[in-house]
Amino acid sequence: MKTNVKFYHAGCAVCQDAEKNVANALDPEKFNVEVIHLGENNSRIQEAEKEGVKSVPALVMSGNAYHINFGADLSALK
Amino acid sequence: MKTNVKFYHAGCAVCQDAEKNVANALDPEKFNVEVIHLGENNSRIQEAEKEGVKSVPALVMSGNAYHINFGADLSALK
């Protein structure tokens, strides 16, 4: 069984770079990475907040939020 | 040829968590991850700074620094 991972982003340059170099670098044998564009899916902002996401880009893995550098605050996407 | 990645940390709880859940999650078929404890290897702080690292924990991949959450400012480790 692979572990599900979420990568939240908002299409910004910092986000795109983190997706390419970090999210895509995760071991495909162990992880399924779901990529979620919060700018296009506002309805999922609440879900991200519940998982502890404060800004994008961010990975949610093993129940924890990992903010990777800083692209945009979640509040700016509402 | 695998790509070399550096994971800089300072032994803090945020660092240990990021090492376990993010650094160790990178694809072992593609990446060699070097783990560097800057608290114990002060001499490498300058190297980290040159690579754009501002705080730990951080990954340096493909010439870019990816700060993962916030454990400690690099200046606090000097």
Looking up tokens 């071991």 gives A27
B78 has pLDDT over 90: no
A5, A22, A26: residue with CB nearest B66: A22
pTM to 2 decimals? Answer: 0.95
* B61·A30 Cβ contact <8 A: no
B15 has pLDDT over 90: yes
Q: How far is CA A73 from CA A3, A20, B63, in A?
A: 26, 20, 25
CB B63 within 8 A of CB B2: no
Which residues in chain B are closer than 8 Å to A28, comparing Cβ atoms?
A: 27
pLDDT tens-digit readout, A9-59 = 999 999 999 999 999 999 999 999 999 999 999 999 999 999 999 999 999
* B68·A64 Cβ contact <8 A: no
Q: How far apart are CA A64 and CA A24, in angstroms?
A: 18
Q: How far apart are CA A32 and CA B40, in angstroms?
A: 35
Q: How far apart are CA A62 and CA A1, in angstroms?
A: 14
Which residues in chain A are closer than 8 Å to B6, comparing Cβ atoms?
A: none
